[in-house]
């Protein structure tokens, strides 16, 4: 659209946070595109007297956390955020036209004219939809927490939408994995949730770290690969045999809280290796890079 309308476009081969605002000032940038991590990276630079000296009026992208947005506005002035949520393989997309921090869009009447979708009742504690006595999802009015009727469950990691179903299906292809559920865990000073999988191994098998690593790297892009693996003897299920992830989400990947064996994506060793307390503390502190 920008090229069609004759707007100027400035491209960089690689992000440089130390030159970001200088480049914006030099080229008179009025709108820049981001993923959630970019704004956090920019904020990591030392403050200076030129922080509010720029012509940027709007940013467009996805993955903007409310706390990061608030810090950005406080430091760099009145910049409008237009956050987007959507994925090529998803079923619906939203745009935050209001500029409200932490929002990824709004259920607008005209959108329903363009796309056939319904937003339905969802219970966070059970990590699933609520259905009536006929087995149908229950539509809810606006301004209440909901999911799409034909739902596409995902987590967001560093500005990218990750399909938990895609990851689970890929891991299930390995002959030593019997059952798997995928969810996201938070890591301090990182945007979104890193992928984690709780798996049940086939009887008589052990986790083959190198083989799991080769399979994941060979079939999943970098941002989709699960960073943590947790071995389970069983997975918690609802009365209709749907996986419940509530306790898994609450426990995260802290070895002090989890007795089950855990492994992490060790690119240096080209394997999933045991997650020790020392490695965990290194990941949390940022000394161990994922």
Asked if 164 and 217 sit in the same domain, the reply is: yes
Domain boundary among 93, 128, 148: 148
Q: Domain tally for the chain?
A: 3
125: in domain: yes
Asked if 249 and 267 sit in the same domain, the reply is: yes
Residue 127 confidence (pLDDT):
60
Residue 149 confidence (pLDDT):
47
DSSP letters, 167-206, are HHHHHHTSTTEEEEEEEEE--TTSSB-EEEEEEEEPTT--
Residue 239 confidence (pLDDT):
53
98: in domain: no
Asked if 185 and 68 sit in the same domain, the reply is: no
CATH number for the domain that contains residue 197: 3.30.300.30
Asked if 165 and 138 sit in the same domain, the reply is: no
- What range does the domain containing 171 cover? 154-285
Question: Which residue in 16, 75, 13 sits closest to 43, CA to CA?
Answer: 75
* Other residues' Cβ atoms within 10 Å of the Cβ of residue 210: 12
Residue 225 confidence (pLDDT):
92
Asked if 31 and 132 sit in the same domain, the reply is: no
Give the whole-angstrom CA distance, residue 167 versus residue 272.
16
Asked if 141 and 166 sit in the same domain, the reply is: no
Give the whole-angstrom CA distance, residue 258 versus residue 252.
9
Asked if 158 and 270 sit in the same domain, the reply is: yes
Say what the alpha-carbon torsion angle 96, 98, 101, 103 is, to the nearest 10 degrees.
-40
Asked if 226 and 275 sit in the same domain, the reply is: yes
110: in domain: no
CATH number for the domain that contains residue 44: 3.40.50.980
Residue 1 confidence (pLDDT):
54
23: in domain: yes
Residue 88 confidence (pLDDT):
61
User: pLDDT tens digits for the chain (290 residues)?
Assistant: 556 777 788 888 888 889 999 999 999 999 998 876 788 888 889 999 999 999 999 999 887 778 788 999 999 999 998 888 776 656 677 888 888 887 777 777 777 777 777 778 877 656 667 888 888 888 877 666 555 644 555 576 666 667 788 898 899 899 999 889 898 898 887 777 889 999 999 999 999 999 999 999 999 988 889 999 999 988 776 554 456 677 788 888 999 888 899 999 999 999 999 999 999 999 998 888 77
104: in domain: no
């Amino acid at each position: 659209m920008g090229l069609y309308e004759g707007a100027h476009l400035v491209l960089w081969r690689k992000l440089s946070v130390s030159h970001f605002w200088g480049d914006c000032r030099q080229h008179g940038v009025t709108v820049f595109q981001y993923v959630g991590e970019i704004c956090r990276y920019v904020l990591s630079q030392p403050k200076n007297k030129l922080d509010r000296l720029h012509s940027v009026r709007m940013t467009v992208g996805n993955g903007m956390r409310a706390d990061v947005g608030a810090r950005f506005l406080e430091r760099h002035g009145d910049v409008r955020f237009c956050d987007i949520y959507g994925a090529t393989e998803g079923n619906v997309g939203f745009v935050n036209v209001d500029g409200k921090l932490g929002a990824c869009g709004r259920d607008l009447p005209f959108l329903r004219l363009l796309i056939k979708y319904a937003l339905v009742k969802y219970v966070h504690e059970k990590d699933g939809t609520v259905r009536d006595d006929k087995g149908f999802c229950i539509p809810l009015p606006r301004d209440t927490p909901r999911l799409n009727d034909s739902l596409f469950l995902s987590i967001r990691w560093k500005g990218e939408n990750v399909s938990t179903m895609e990851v689970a299906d890929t891991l299930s292809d390995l002959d030593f994995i019997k059952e798997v559920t995928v969810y996201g865990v938070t890591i301090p000073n990182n945007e979104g949730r890193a992928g984690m999988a709780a798996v049940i191994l086939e009887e008589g098998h052990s986790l083959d770290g190198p083989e799991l690593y080769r399979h994941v790297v060979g079939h999943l892009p970098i941002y989709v690969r699960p960073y943590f693996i947790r071995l389970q003897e069983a997975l918690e299920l609802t009365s209709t045999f749907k996986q419940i992830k509530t306790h898994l989400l609450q426990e995260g990947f802290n070895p002090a809280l989890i007795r089950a064996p855990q492994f992490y994506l060790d690119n240096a060793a080209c394997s999933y290796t045991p997650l020790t307390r020392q490695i965990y503390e290194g990941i949390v502190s940022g000394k161990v890079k994922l």
